[in-house]
Structure 1
Amino acid sequence: MTAILAIDQGTTNSKAVLVSSEGEIVARGSSPVGISHPQPGWVEQDPERVWQSVLEAIDICLAAAPTVSIAGIAISNQRESVAIWDGETGEPLGPLVSWQCRRSAPACAELKAAGHSARVEALTGLPIDPMFPGPKMRWLLDRAPDDRPLRLGTVDSWLVHRLTGGKVHACDASNAARSQLLDLKQNVWSDELCDLFGVPKVFLPEVRDSASRFGETLDVPGLADGIPIAAAIGDSHAALFGHGAFAPGDGKVTFGTGSSIMTTLPHFIAPQNGITTTIAWSLGGQPTYAFEGNILVSAASLPWMVEILGLPDVQALIDLAETADPQGPGFVPAFVGLGAPHWHADARALFSGITFNTTRAQMARAVTDSIAFQVHDVFKAMAAQSPTPLGRLFVDGGPSKNSFLMQCVADTLVHPVIQCDAAEASALGAAYLAGLTLGLWDDLDAVRALPRKTAGLMPRPMDRALRLATWQDAIFRSTVSVTSSMGE
């Protein structure tokens, strides 16, 4: 059997899956990455550990299907996390600064105060925020040695470098679009933006189509030399592609540590209302655009609440939440600030409206409901600006398997959601792109026709007004309390 080896490098785990020419997963492997918080608001990983976890996941995956022949390799990756390394030796010259990290908040505040927000957003589709790589790259450069052949890049470019034995420094357009250094309309690195953020273009990777030949494997433990790397794409974009959400208005929500809501656009549209515009993927030199809203903390709040309440696991928390009267306190998971559509870096997590009558079950429900409420805020902002009605909405990621959580999303949005059976939507999307490069599938229609197991959840009648009012009040308190304390 011939299959595509899809690497899905995430925040907490690296996964590897083998995808057959019929679009089916035939083997899986996974390995934890590890993450550190050297000081409040700082989040980083070890680039070498990221690479080793990928190798471990590949070993586990291939051991489960020893007779499979690998036609090519596809990469999907956590986005907005950036690394710096020696272009000749491959030695990391700093940490992998995570997309969650807020260390660049002071630099972002200076750029905003200097009046650069409107111009940056017009060129990149993104607000100035510590989530995005530009200022983080400058932070890494300020601490790197001057006498080394420096390379900067997102995780896809780091993996391409290692997979090709250091021969290739390249990234795909979807990852480049999240760097805040790419002119989104021209799909090229912007001299103006690189100057603004202090990042020399010479250190950046070559921008390529998402489906293209990035190079061939060389000196990779466990893999033969000469296997083509046939696709690279950001994980959220890969999930959208994997669902076959090619029609304008189709979208998806990827639930994980944070969440990403993305809807396909018919053409480039400058963003408003706290959402962003991005390149979903690029094929044949032509980018497909999408609206996106990034939620910084989503399912990551669940294990935190499990520990607070002394429960055995996340499922016990969800079971407890399901028993509660939903008209309870509000909870905002702004542990590292708020992302879309609020974009408040200094907001902090809080419960609001707690009384002596508040129960443990209601607190659990407030935490689970916050997942749906954050999606609601982004979805509403997208619907207000979308040139087409929002259509099919797919959900993926670990939490999407829980029907209670996803029913809360459907009820809150008053919009059907489509659960997908495969947990590896991002890996599948990357594999489909590689299949286009390798000729396993002829076109998007062939990808759209691949089998997918789905189940729809319809919204139920409910009183949303009070719940949303509680949520909006909690959002206000999470931002104004920090602003007030900073002013004292």
Structure 2
Amino acid sequence: MTTAILAIDQGTTNSKAVLVSPQGRILARGSAPVGIEHPQPGWVEQDPRRIWASVQQAIAACLAAGPAVTVAGIAISNQRESVTVWDRVTGEPLGPVVSWQCRRTDAACTALTAAGHAPRVMELTGLPIDPMFPGPKMRWLLDRVPAGRDVRLGTIDAWLIHCFTGGAVHACDASNAARSQLYDLNRQEWSEELCALFGVPKAYLPDVRDSSADFGVTRGVAGLPDGVAICAAIGDSHAALFGHGAFVPGDGKVTFGTGSSIMTTLPGFIAPTGGITTTIAWALGGKPTYAFEGNILVSASALPWMAEMLGLPDVQALTDLAATAEPGGPGFVPAFVGLGAPYWRSDARALFSAITFTTSRAQMARAVTDSMAFQVHDVFAAMQAQSPAPLRRLFADGGPSQNTFLMQSVSDILNHPLIQCDAPEASALGAAYLAGLRLGIWSGLDAIAALPRDSATLTPRAGDAAARLAVWRDAIYRSTVPTAIRE
């Protein structure tokens, strides 16, 4: 019987499972939805039990759809910066999953910034103080845990590893630890200083391991035998970068989804400026690979919203309408939960600007689809300004990357070629490749880079990009006018 790697991609809106052959090809897929709750404006949370149930459902669907295989190992990629808390002994969740999108710690972050802690946090972690990141969210969760409970805290990879191993292993990988705001990127360890600042006991945090490592074995997982090795864990955006084989400094990718992540590989650690972050892309053999990253909070999730507002049946109808728009038209800033990179303005507001009596429905649709490209442009420009190496190949992945109209708009606005990858499962594939290194299926990075990949390169076209960018910049200004003035 042939062997395969079972790769899990646990995302914000659904969980996916794919079987990956030793040739790097996907043999089968399965998915299951994950519910999202908004208990208050700006709050976003999920049920950790539901996340684990959706992973099991995705695995069952994948195994049922594929050929009979022996699962050689399991790989995990996961939504990042979302955190939860559970009982160490019983495994019972002691709170929700506080999502990466959640803004409930805005006041705590504002207080920490006002107290002057932001430069030191950036120096140690490469991250700004913002509600997106887990440190303050972990403290929020701990403040609501019943007294006397022996707790574990973790990102979603740590929660899934706990579930897969029947509670035997409390661990995460370096890429997820690097997004926690509690991990010293240079020393490669949990920081006593940061744990004290955010009020998170270090003893509650998971063991940090390489992205390709021993994370225990399965125990009591429906549909899988006990003893299957968990060989890899990595944040989903990092996994996509790895899956593209973007191993040369200056290579990068854009992952389009609910939000978007732009990431470019670095030759070493660089303290970021200009609104982007530095992170650990992955760790192998105890050695980290660093990357610049910019996180966009709302990207493709604005498209179904606008389709519904215009009475259109789906996102495809929205992009078809946008493609017919005459030049000109309004600007749109999708700051529904504030703005991420490179602005980091939690007080920003979503808005349309420059609307006139002649504004058409098609122009309104185009403003929303263009907002994806403009946000990528602003992050990419910040990276170009700071990168020690010229930015080279830029890959695009995620569901929206399959829409050529959207991706051509990105290439046009960036004035840079964009490699449109036929790889909606890029994150799962990247995690599978890391597991394959652990299992000896692939000998090293060169072997992974040589695996076949289907793609098309979009080159930028001449047009009215400069005029459209001017409208965008005006809209951004209006979105980020201080609240007191705006109101």
TM range (shorter): over 0.9
Residue type at the aligned position of 2:304? P
Residue type at the aligned position of 2:120? R
Deviating above 4 A after TM superposition, structure 1's stretches of 4 or more consecutive aligned residues are none
Give yes or no for contact 1:160–1:169 (8 Å, CA) kept in 2.
Answer: yes
Give yes or no for contact 2:27–2:67 (8 Å, CA) kept in 1.
Answer: no
After superposition, residues 36-435 of structure 1 pair within 5 angstroms as 36-435=37-436
Aligned position for 2:439 = 438
Report deviation, 1:483.
4.3
Aligned-partner SS, 1:71: strand
Aligned position for 2:471 = 470
Residue type at the aligned position of 1:81? S
Report deviation, 1:65.
2.0
CA distance in 1: counterparts of 2:201 and 2:254, whole angstroms: 34
Report deviation, 1:47.
0.3
Residue identity (%): 75
Residue type at the aligned position of 1:101? C
Unaligned runs of 5+ in 1: none
Report deviation, 1:464.
2.1
For residues 99-148 of structure 1, the C-alpha deviation after alignment (integer angstroms, 9 at most, x for no partner) is 00000000000000000010000000000000000000000000001211
Aligned-partner SS, 2:305: helix
CA distance in 2: counterparts of 1:66 and 1:36, whole angstroms: 36
Residue type at the aligned position of 2:94? L
Report deviation, 1:463.
2.6
CA distance in 2: counterparts of 1:326 and 1:84, whole angstroms: 50
Give yes or no for contact 1:326–1:366 (8 Å, CA) kept in 2.
Answer: no
Give yes or no for contact 1:326–1:365 (8 Å, CA) kept in 2.
Answer: no
CA distance in 2: counterparts of 1:250 and 1:212, whole angstroms: 25
For residues 312-360 of structure 1, the C-alpha deviation after alignment (integer angstroms, 9 at most, x for no partner) is 1100000000000241100000000000000000101000000000000
Aligned position for 1:2 = 3
Residue type at the aligned position of 1:254? T
Unaligned runs of 5+ in 2: none
Aligned-partner SS, 2:84: strand
Give yes or no for contact 1:15–1:30 (8 Å, CA) kept in 2.
Answer: yes
CA distance in 1: counterparts of 2:28 and 2:325, whole angstroms: 40
CA distance in 2: counterparts of 1:387 and 1:154, whole angstroms: 31
Report deviation, 1:377.
0.1
Give yes or no for contact 2:48–2:96 (8 Å, CA) kept in 1.
Answer: yes
Report deviation, 1:481.
5.6
Report deviation, 1:88.
1.1
For residues 133-180 of structure 1, the C-alpha deviation after alignment (integer angstroms, 9 at most, x for no partner) is 000000000000121110000000000000000000000000000000
Residue type at the aligned position of 1:196? L
CA distance in 2: counterparts of 1:447 and 1:215, whole angstroms: 24
CA distance in 1: counterparts of 2:341 and 2:401, whole angstroms: 20
Aligned-partner SS, 1:212: coil
RMSD: 0.7
Aligned-partner SS, 2:272: coil
| TM-score (ref. length: structure 1) | 0.99
Aligned-partner SS, 2:193: helix
Aligned-partner SS, 2:216: strand
For residues 385-404 of structure 1, the C-alpha deviation after alignment (integer angstroms, 9 at most, x for no partner) is 00000000000001100000
CA distance in 2: counterparts of 1:473 and 1:7, whole angstroms: 41
CA distance in 1: counterparts of 2:8 and 2:147, whole angstroms: 33
CA distance in 1: counterparts of 2:358 and 2:463, whole angstroms: 23
| TM-score (ref. length: structure 2) | 0.99
Residue type at the aligned position of 2:15? S
CA distance in 1: counterparts of 2:483 and 2:256, whole angstroms: 27
Aligned-partner SS, 2:20: strand
Give yes or no for contact 2:73–2:230 (8 Å, CA) kept in 1.
Answer: yes
Residue type at the aligned position of 1:420? C
